[in-house]
Amino acid sequence: MRLIIAGFGTVGQGFAEALSKRADMLSSSYGGVKIVAAFDSKSYAADKNGLDPIALVKRKTDTGSVGADKMKDGIDVLNSVEYDILVEASPTNIQTGGDGLRYIEHALRHGKDVITVNKGPLALKFKELKKLADRKKAMIRFEGTVGGAMPIINLCCEDLKGEKVRSIRGIFNGTCNFILGRMDNGLPFEQALKEAQYMGYAESDPSYDIEGIDTACKVVILANSVFKRNVRFSDVSITGIASVNAEAIALAADQDMVIRLIGEVSDTVLEVSPRLIPKGHPLSISGTLNTAQIIADMAGPITISGKGAGRIETASAILSDLIAVMEKRR
């Protein structure tokens, strides 16, 4: 399979490393994977015979650019190389969908399969992209957009195929959860936010985390994929954690509760808000882990937890989508 990687930031680089780590397995079980092009916002590298993933990461680390060649628009790269799958890891833009949306649309229009970790395009245009993919007999997969390494979309849509998922409630933003957990221990909001930023989990504009925007994007993706709804970001009722102060945390603690930012989705609910959670409940965890409780008709509650972000962790989700595509195309 010939891949193009669009976006060579943390996740794009992590994915290149994951390809190198799993090269033997990909080659023996799936006939191998070749990166025929990779691009970031300014530069690209392309070779129809395949690029060395680790050399790409090294060049990006050493020079700040993935390729020696300057690039105006990633679409030119998509048009210039023969490929099968676009792995899209460009920066998220929740207002317009950004370049990532253009790349995804372009690839699908040309019948190419797409794997994306970009929340913006899916939160804005899920149904349109799915329809386009179906019309062109292409696949679009996006496990890494929700919960990072925590398997949730493919778990609900594939492993729980015979189920009726009634609802999902979860912690889908590591930054907010880290902040709230630190506030439980008496740290002021601002200081907790600084720590979260230092850990590299927060979005480049942390108001996306704090105001619940990031969680809302994830809730939209779950609603459209797992619940087959047709909703957009603007349909979500969103309250972030900016109003959660030390007094509210202390009042919750008096009742043996903690406050956590919860995203909830079902056939009728689409909400992000700080909620009181009893101490000891799976959703009362502290730290950056994501956790979700799926309520299924026959199976009952299923709880999952895992790293919601990170270089190699998110790459693990991309790799599972990649293998699913390769199995279907075989």
Catalytic residue positions, numbered: 218
Q: For the window 119-158, what string marks contact with ligand HSE as x by the rule CB under 6 A?
A: -----------------------------x----------
The alpha-helical segments, DSSP class H, found in the chain are 10-21, 23-30, 53-63, 74-80, 98-109, 119-135, 153-154, 174-184, 189-198, 207-210, 213-225, 246-254, 311-329
Write down the least CB distance from residue 272 to ligand HSE, Å.
13
User: Which residue has the CB atom at the shortest distance from ligand HSE?
Assistant: 175
Write down the least CB distance from residue 122 to ligand HSE, Å.
12
Among 150, 168, 309, 325, binds ligand HSE (CB under 6 A): 309
Write down the least CB distance from residue 26 to ligand HSE, Å.
26
DSSP state, 90?
P
Nearer to ligand HSE, 204 or 268 (CB): 204
Among 308, 315, 318, 321, binds ligand HSE (CB under 6 A): 308
Contacts of ligand HSE in 35-94 (CB under 6 A): none
Length of the chain: 330
Nearer to ligand HSE, 184 or 214 (CB): 214
Nearer to ligand HSE, 71 or 304 (CB): 304
Write down the least CB distance from residue 24 to ligand HSE, Å.
30
Write down the least CB distance from residue 265 to ligand HSE, Å.
16
Q: For the window 160-199, what string marks contact with ligand HSE as x by the rule CB under 6 A?
A: -------------xxx------------------------
**Alpha-carbon dihedral of residues 318, 320, 322, 324, nearest 10 degrees?**
-150
Burial of 15 (0-12, 13-18, 19+ CB in 10 A): buried
Q: In which element (H, E) is residue 237 found?
A: strand 237-238
Q: Which residues contact 265 (CB under 8 A, 6 or more apart)?
A: 167, 168, 219, 222, 223, 226, 227, 271
SS3 for 299-316 is: CEEEEEEEECCCHHHHHH
Handedness of CA 144, 147, 148, 154 (dihedral sign): negative
Contacts of ligand HSE in 196-255 (CB under 6 A): 201-203, 209, 214
Residues that bind ligand HSE in the complex, under the rule CB under 6 A = 148, 173-175, 201-203, 209, 214, 308-309
